[in-house]
Amino acid sequence: MSSEVQIRVGDVAIGGGAPVVVQSMTLTPTRDVPATTAQIAALASAGCEVVRVAVPKTEDAEALKKIVYLSPLPVIADIHFNASLALKSIEAGVAAVRINPGNIGGSDKVAMVVKAAKAKGIPMRVGANSGSLPKHLVPLAQEDTAAALVEEALEQVRLLESMDFRDFKISVKSSSVPTMIRAYRMLSEKVEYPLHLGVTEAGPPATGSIKSSIGVGSLLMDGIGDTIRISLTADPVKEVEVAWEILKALGLRERGPVMIACPSCGRDNVGVENLAVAVEQRLREYTEPFEVAVMGCAVNGPGE
Ligand code: SF4
């Protein structure tokens, strides 16, 4: 169930009873500091609380110092395959690093990153993704992908715990909604660390939002999950908007108005479809939480 352990990504608490945190990831080349900081500013305005940036090359790591300084949000560096990029990112002052201990170059390299993170007092995100499970778990994945994701995550947990490091959150992402739901449910029974929820590679906004709402929403409804990222093939601002709609629909967080609108029918005498679009547009200007109902006739209108 919900995590016992709380970590802090910059000034944002994750887990241990803190409100579910909304995060997203920039799409710009991180080395392009003006473009990346502009996208972070747009994400912050939309309600993003923690931002992740990809660090595939040295130039990206070198840009981090400036980005961290200019960002209104805590910045997480996302690193694969290269421990020295993780060390450079930590040195640049990021609020956390996301690594996959399975592809960073062995336990010695993980130990180097852990030592640097400990020295700076910053947490990590670790975890498994169904698209990149290690070879030894492929037979298990063919039988039960969710079990393989959990096993991979637990192997990483045991490795970090053996280094006396407990300042991390975990993800077990899959592009299959039933698989990710089962994996997170199983994992939540086994660990007390904060869980980062997401349906990976969920797709373009329409289908991706539906998959994410079902996957992430089901888990949050069960009290599982401490931070969410809605992965959409779209402007990341859209990810943040969808994340907030999920949290608002579940009654977990408040941000701006909640709109109720009827689907319209033959009794509609105001033109609900156009009116609802116009009202939704106008409501974007408000940050206070309140409900607005757009109804087509007197049948349910007075009640709403
Ligand atoms: Fe139809 Fe009126 Fe219900 Fe809207 S509120 S769906 S117009 S009956």
Residue ID of nearest Cα to ligand 1 atom 6: 264
Residue 235 CA to ligand 1 center (angstroms) comes to 34
Give a three-class secondary structure readout of 58-98. HHHHHHHHHHHHHCCCCEEEECCCCHHHHHHHHHHCCCEEE
Residue 264 CA to ligand 1 center (angstroms) comes to 5
Closest ligand 1 atom to Cα of 300: 5
pLDDT tens per residue, range 117-165 = 999 999 999 999 988 899 999 999 999 999 999 999 999 999 999 999 9
- Structure tokens of 116? 């640097």
pLDDT tens per residue, range 165-196 = 999 999 999 999 999 999 999 999 999 999 99
Separation CA 83–CA 88 (nearest Å): 9
* Residue 300 beta carbon below 6 angstroms from any ligand 1 atom: yes
Q: What is the pLDDT of residue 298?
A: 87
Q: What is the pLDDT of residue 303?
A: 77
Q: What is the pLDDT of residue 2?
A: 64
Q: Which regions of the chain are under pLDDT 70?
A: 1-2
Closest ligand 1 atom to Cα of 295: 5
Separation CA 165–CA 29 (nearest Å): 31
Q: What is the pLDDT of residue 142?
A: 93
Residue ID of nearest Cα to ligand 1 atom 1: 265
* Residue 263 beta carbon below 6 angstroms from any ligand 1 atom: yes
Q: What is the pLDDT of residue 192?
A: 96
Closest ligand 1 atom to Cα of 296: 7
Q: What is the pLDDT of residue 128?
A: 93
Q: What is the pLDDT of residue 286?
A: 87
Residue 84 CA to ligand 1 center (angstroms) comes to 61
The percent of residues in the chain predicted with pLDDT above 70, rounded, is 99
